[in-house]
Amino acid sequence: MIEIENLWKSFNSNQVLTGLQLNIHDGESLVVIGKSGSGKSVLLKLMIGLLKPERGKIRIEREDIVGMGFRDLQKIRRRFGFVFQAAALFDSLTVAENVGLALRKFFHYSEGKIEHRIRECLAFVDLEGAENKYPAELSGGMKKRVGVARAIATYPQYILFDEPTTGLDPETAENINQLIVKLKNEMEVTSVVVTHDMHSAFTVGDRIVLLHDGKIEVEGSPTEIRKMVHPEVQKFLIGYTLNQY
Ligand X SMILES: Nc1ncnc2c1ncn2[C@@H]1O[C@H](COP(=O)(O)OP(=O)(O)OP(=O)(O)O)[C@@H](O)[C@H]1O
- Site residues (CB under 5 A) for Mg ion? 41
- Residues of span 161-200 touching ligand X by CB under 6 A: none
Which residue number is nearest to Mg ion in terms of Cβ?
41
CB nearer ligand X, residue 55 or residue 104:
55
User: Judged by CB under 6 A, which of 29, 40, 189, 205 binds ligand X?
Assistant: 40
Out of Mg ion, ligand X, none, what residue 14 binds, judged by CB under 5 to 8 A for its kind, is: ligand X
Q: Using the rule CB under 6 A, which residue among 2, 4, 16, 151 binds ligand X?
A: 16
Answer for which of 2, 20, 29, 34 binds ligand X (CB under 6 A) is 34
- Tell me the window of 39-47, 57-65, 103-111, 182-190 that interacts with ligand X (CB under 6 A): 39-47
Residue 39 near which of Mg ion, ligand X, none (CB within 5-8 Å, type-dependent): ligand X
Residue from 20, 42, 83, 209 in contact with ligand X (CB under 6 A)? 42
Instruction: Select from 18-26, 30-38, 184-192, 217-225 the region that touches ligand X (CB under 6 A).
Output: 30-38
**24, 1 Cβ separation under 8 angstroms:** yes
**Measured distance CA(16)–CA(121) in Å, rounded:** 36
Could you say whether residue 14 binds ligand X (CB under 6 A)?
yes
Q: How many Å apart are CA 245 and CA 207, to the nearest integer?
A: 25
Out of Mg ion, ligand X, none, what residue 37 binds, judged by CB under 5 to 8 A for its kind, is: ligand X
Phi, psi of 20 (to 5 degrees): -70, 135
48: closest CA among 37, 58, 39, 57? Answer: 58
CA distance 22 to 125: 30
Please tell me whether residue 36 binds ligand X under the rule CB under 6 A.
yes
User: Does position 17 bind ligand X by CB under 6 A?
Assistant: no
Nearest to 196 by CA among 86, 44, 36: 36
Strands of 29-33's sheet in order across: 80-83, 158-162, 190-194, 29-33, 207-212, 215-220
Give the length of the chain: 245
The sheet carrying 2-11 orders its strands as: 14-24, 2-11, 55-60, 63-64
Which residues in this chain contact ligand X in the complex, by CB under 6 A?
A: 11, 14, 16, 34, 36-42
